[in-house]
Structure 1
Amino acid sequence: MANGGDTADTSIRTATSQAVVEAVATAEGVPPAELCPPEYEPLHDVIDPEALDALFAPRSHGGPRPGGTVTFTYCGYDVTVETDGTVRLD
Structure 2
Amino acid sequence: MVEGGDTVGEPSNRPPSQAVIEAVAEAEGVTPEGLAPPAYEPLHAVVDPTALDGLFAARSDGTDRPSGTVSFRFCGYDVTVDRDGRVALEEPTEPAD
After TM superposition, the score normalised by the length of structure 2 is: 0.83
The correspondence of residues 74-85 of structure 1 with structure 2, limited to 5 A, is: 74-85=74-85
* % identical equivalent positions: 61
Which consecutive unaligned segments of at least 5 residues does structure 1 have?
A: none
Mapped partners of 1:71, 1:55: distance in 2: 12
Q: What is the aligned-residue RMSD (CA, Å)? A: 1.7
Is the Cα contact below 8 Å between 1:8 and 1:87 reproduced in 2?
yes
Which residue of 2 is the match for residue 38 of structure 1? 38
Mapped partners of 1:66, 1:74: distance in 2: 25
| Moved beyond 3 Å, runs of 4+ | none
Aligned length: 89
Is the Cα contact below 8 Å between 2:9 and 2:23 reproduced in 1?
no
Which consecutive unaligned segments of at least 5 residues does structure 2 have?
A: 91-97
After TM superposition, the score normalised by the length of structure 1 is: 0.88
Name which one, 1 or 2, has greater alpha-carbon Rg.
2
* Alpha-carbon shift at residue 10 of structure 1 (Å): 5.0
* Alpha-carbon shift at residue 6 of structure 1 (Å): 1.6
